[in-house]
A and B are shown apart, each in its own frame.
Chain A
Amino acid sequence: MPHSLSAQDVTTPGGLLLVLAILIPFIGMLIGFVFGGGKAMRVALATLAVGLAIVIAIAKALVQSGDAVIYILGGWMPPLGVALRADGLSVVMLLAIAVVICGIGVYARADFGSPSGVKEARAPLTFWLLLLAVWGSLNLVFVSGDLFTLYVALELLTFAAVPLVSLDGRSETVRSALRYLLYALLGSVLYLLGAVLLYGVYGTLDIPLLAMRVRPEPVAWAALALMISGLLAKTALFPLHLWLPPAHAGAPAAASAVLSGLVIKGSWFLAVRLWFDVFAGVVTLPSAQTLGTLGAAAILVGNVVALRQTRLKLLIAYSTVAQIGYLFLMFPLATGLSSAGLDSAVAVNGGMLQAISHAMAKAAMFMAAGLIYTTLGHDRVADLRGMTSTLPMTVLAFALAGASLIGLPPSGGFLAKWLLISAAITTLQWWWALLMLVGGLLTSVYVFIVVVRSLAPAHDGWKPKLPVPRYQQAAVLALALCSFLLGAAVLCPLDVMQIGRTVSRNTLLP
């Protein structure tokens, strides 16, 4: 970005929408807090609708201009000022997260409505305020172009996510929340340390400027190692995953969906941003292989431990540990492609699709488990009899979401794995392809077990503990269907994800 350009030249049409995508959720949160009580939920739902419209408008601006959407805040050009920047990767994440958040919002109306007779209840108010806070923070992660603003975004995300874990106040969940917070704080402080080093050497925190200035030298390697390790702790990649299962499984279903489907994608996306944009000229294939190896271990350990779970929610949480592993296979594959002088877009697109389809599928699965719990009064995998006849839509949603995690066609998971496997074959890294197939096989076993158990007929005279509203079931099924049909993205005439990514591609090529 040459300095002779003024801010007006750099800001693109639709740039203002990026500011709105970040601030509208926070404004909704502040207004909801002032009104409090049942009004907080109505404010939150209205904010979801407005926010979704803004995100769609950003996507339109991106596709129409065929280039990244940029906004220079306050007219102060980087490096002194801060820029917001949405390329194809950002926009795809913005869209996917908006869809999932809206699905969760519809679902949560039943669980977090204000109880009658009480002016304001603690858990519902907290849930709606923090749902909006998570959304604003994630949007900030996707569009911020400055490493320090991204640090603030990471902390916002952490502070919004941790109280969701302990929403019910049982000591076990408070302990999980504290453990999660300590991991997350260590993660962000390591990230900040890396950013500080970069500023000390290159004198800027702006991502495009850094991408031009960073050279392969010890300080850059140290910054890369610190920042990526910090983000791994926050994303819960093996072996830093121990905090995740109890935290995600102990939260109420809608909160679990937020945590497992959305929150971990924030720190993962930032790792992608650093790896492919900031450090494109610094990363090496062996370092990428290290990330891939951790991902491989996560896939094997997460799936095997998931198979041994007796509780449905813990099973789903361990499946998240495994799915996070897939998210890190794109690093060796994309780096392998670019170090062979090839276009890394196939692998990057595969990784992004994996993240999106997992966000939708995992949110649907956790919410399906919540409905099953409401109906049965427990979530023991061994005793799911009668579920298919009582909650047919929910069991179908679970199966469809499961199919996407396994990678059956035409799901988003299938397309993601297909892209990743083809990248593995192109770069002769066949072991990653083998691993993905083994992981899919293990996943299919526990999805199959759950579905088969729920097909068993109920005992005579068994009655649901509590009825489940149809719209909750519909919201879950809609998210599962989104994930299952995401493979149709292959029909999209335009490679949306790669729009506005020319800067990094040029630096990737030797």
Chain B
Amino acid sequence: MNGPTLFGLCAAALIGFGLYGLIVNPQPLRKIIGFNIIGSGVFLLFGTIARRGAAAGMGGDPVPQALLITGIVVAFSATALAVALLLRLFDEGGVVTLVSEASPTEAKADPPDA
């Protein structure tokens, strides 16, 4: 076993951990953290693939590295949007949960004051 393979296995485990956290934790903020752990696992897996592709005098394949940078920025934007929704929900009612008061089938469907 070498470094990249080890970290690849580590990435596989992180994705599993994150998935479990995303499904099981009821608080939205914890779900967002779960999503970020899955994301970092995916990035780490891509990183090991980049490292394995070292060639032509480069320490790693530059294409996955560039895509990783893009991916990290996109994941940050996603987290910012999710946190903004969460804080708005907090402002509205104080209780932050994904479970609606009414069951989904009876949820209100009013458009805004038309």
Contacts and interface: CB of A to CB of B under 8 A. Distances in A.
Q: Do chains A and B touch in the complex (CB under 8 A)?
A: yes
Interface in B65-106: 67, 70-71, 74, 77-78, 81-82, 85-86, 88-89, 92-93, 97-98, 100, 104-105
Main secondary structure of the interface of A (DSSP, over half): helix
Contacts of B3: none
B105 A252 contact: no
Interface residues of A, number: 59
A155 B74 contact: yes
Contacts of B45: 193, 196-197, 200
A169 B74 CA distance: 24
Contact of A181 (B85, B92, B97, B112): B85
A245 B63 CA distance: 40
Contacts of A159: 77-78, 81
A312 B109 CA distance: 8
A332 B28 CA distance: 37
Given A177-B85, A305-B105, A196 B35 contact: no
A453 interface: no
A373 B81 CA distance: 30
Interface stretch (A182-190, A412-420, A444-452, A487-495): A182-190
B64 to A, nearest CB: 7
Nearest to A167: B112
A90 B97 CA distance: 40
B15 A379 contact: no
Nearest to B52: A200
A128 B49 CA distance: 41
A17 interface: no
B78 A171 contact: no
B114 A466 contact: yes
A385 interface: no
B100 A80 contact: no
Contacts of A314: 105, 107, 109
Contacts of A189: 35, 38-39, 42
Interface in A140-181: 148, 151-152, 155, 158-159, 162-163, 166-172, 174-179, 181
B46 interface: yes
Contacts, number: 134
Given A199-B64, A250-B109, A253-B111, A171 B104 contact: no
Contact of B92 (A171, A186, A312): A171
Nearest to A244: B104
Contact of A246 (B31, B46, B70, B107): B107
Contacts of A42: none
Contacts of A11: none
A256 B86 CA distance: 22
B89 A175 contact: yes
A176 B53 CA distance: 42
A192 interface: yes
A250 B108 contact: yes
A480 interface: no
Contacts of A192: 42, 71
A242 interface: yes
Contacts of A234: none
A314 B42 CA distance: 36
A248 B45 CA distance: 35
Contact of A245 (B71, B97, B104, B110): B104
B6 to A, nearest CB: 16
Given A155-B74, A182-B82, A252-B112, A309 B105 contact: yes
Nearest to B48: A200
B109 A313 contact: yes
Contacts of A377: 114
Given A175-B100, A252-B112, A155 B85 contact: no
B2 to A, nearest CB: 15
A193 B53 CA distance: 18
Nearest to B63: A80
B100 A172 contact: yes
A215 interface: no
B39 to A, nearest CB: 6
B48 to A, nearest CB: 8
Contacts of A308: 105
A178 B86 contact: yes
Interface in B34-66: 35, 38-39, 42, 45-46, 49, 52-53, 63-64
B108 A196 contact: no
Residue of B22, B28, B98, B105 with highest tally of chain A CB at under 10 A: B105
A251 B108 CA distance: 11
The 5 A-B residue pairs with the shortest CB-CB distance, nearest first, are A171-B92, A168-B112, A249-B109, A200-B49, A313-B109
Given A168-B111, A200-B52, 8 more contacts: A152-B70, A170-B92, A174-B92, A197-B45, A245-B104, A311-B108, A312-B109, A379-B111
Interface of A: 80, 111, 123, 148, 151-152, 155, 158-159, 162-163, 166-172, 174-179, 181-182, 185-186, 189, 192-193, 196-197, 199-200, 203, 242, 245-246, 249-253, 305, 308-309, 311-314, 317, 370, 373-374, 377-379, 466
6 contacts: A158-B78, A166-B88, A189-B42, A250-B108, A311-B109, A373-B111
